[in-house]
Structure 1
């Protein structure tokens, strides 16, 4: 993917989430039950933790249960505004995942829930992971979850954008799609496979601890999760 187009997609994603922030937040009030083990099994009391792409802060109560030193960041000013309204006791900041405002070796764990699939181009995905690695302490954990988009209800979109790419009529990469939020905007998504996610994380120098798929309440709603150590 052309770098300028990737930069455009990053900005588009930021603007899209600012546009839909209130509606999106209302649909993201509850914690996905199938993701709870990522917090119950891995969070340790008193750790310093980054919630990278925290959105409206909906996972903050799980961090609060373990009394961690919590930092939540997102590049959507509107979502951060909502997060601060909901949880004024938490530390939420507007920040760019590709240029994290933290020193080296700062966090015990970095969580990134349903964010990485919005990152366009392999260049920016690698940069994202390198920034996470930079701010993690030696031995720290990355806990990442992306939507599993290899499902029947959006297969036709995969086919459509693949054909356009082959015909030279799309500037997206293979496995990229636009997915609508109602009739308001078309969100950019990359359709990760478990192997692709594993290879990217290992390329940056992480050691994979666990890789799998969560099952949601619907057969269409599954996620890929990965846990890796610096």
Structure 2
């Protein structure tokens, strides 16, 4: 695991309780995806965090598994979601059997990976765990996000890598998290180089949302 990834995991372990308090409801874009796709036997939430999207999946599929590399966030997710299973794992090496998932979420994960190779590896893993015809929703922060107003030139000059601070709501301490901020063309190129099909790619509320499908056969 790279130093950047270790740093991201350490920060999310440190801010887990505060992060979870601010992440209680699914985003509308995720609700819309789960409503649109057929349900199935198994759903995965890759980078599930505190499990706020898990209840949506529990309502759509028979079995739900959340994966995250932050043990502190997983502990919260397990407590809040007794109807799902949770495992600690890295999105680039998922501890999941191939071809089992009919539905998958990968929300706000890809942009924390520090290299193109690791981002491609996550997409390969997403393809591996999806059943033929399985659907996935992937989201990343977009360079158009209002959080980057006045900073885009600086971010682009640093190959779109930056650090975004999290300020604890209780004690005011600041924790810097690594992000790779995506341009549309870069994300589309990365997705189209993967084995997954791209059904649509939208910019919504400062995030890119890609609806992906695993090829049949």
Task: Provide the TM-score with structure 2 as the length reference.
Answer: 0.89
5+ residue gaps, structure 1, are: 1-5, 166-173, 216-221
Gaps of 5+ in 2: 168-172
2:33 corresponds to 1:38: yes
TM-fit CA distance, 1:162? 4.4
Match of 1:104 in 2: 98
- Alignment partners' CA distance in 1, 2:57 and 2:129: 19
Alignment check: 8 A CA contact 1:17 1:76 kept: yes
- Per-residue CA deviations over 1:68-96 (Å, capped at 9, x if unaligned) read 31110100000000001111221011111
Q: Is structure 2 residue 13 aligned with structure 1 residue 28?
A: no
The answer to whether 1:8 aligns with 2:30 is no
C-alpha spacing 1:186/1:157, structure 2 compared with 1 (3 Å): farther
Equivalent position of 1:181 in the other structure: 166
Task: Give the conservation status (yes or no) of the 8 Å contact 1:35–1:214.
Answer: no
Partner of 1:226: 210
Q: Hey, which bits of structure 1, 4+ residues long, moved more than 4 A?
A: none
Q: How many residues align?
A: 209
1:210–1:161 distance in 2 versus 1, CA, 3 Å:
closer
* In the alignment, structure 1 residue 17 sits paired with structure 2 residue 17: no
Write the distance in 2 (CA, Å) between the matches of 1:148 and 1:34.
Answer: 15
Distance in 1 between residues matched to 2:62 and 2:208, nearest whole Å: 25
Question: Which has the larger displacement, 18-27 or 140-149?
Answer: 140-149
TM-superposed deviation, 1:65: 1.8
Q: Give the 3-state SS of the residue equivalent to 2:2 in structure 1.
A: helix
TM-score (norm 1): 0.84
Please state whether the residue corresponding to 1:49 is helix, strand or coil.
strand
Distance in 1, Cα, partners of 2:8 & 2:95 = 20
Q: Using the alignment, how far apart are the partners of 1:63 and 1:142 within structure 2? A: 12
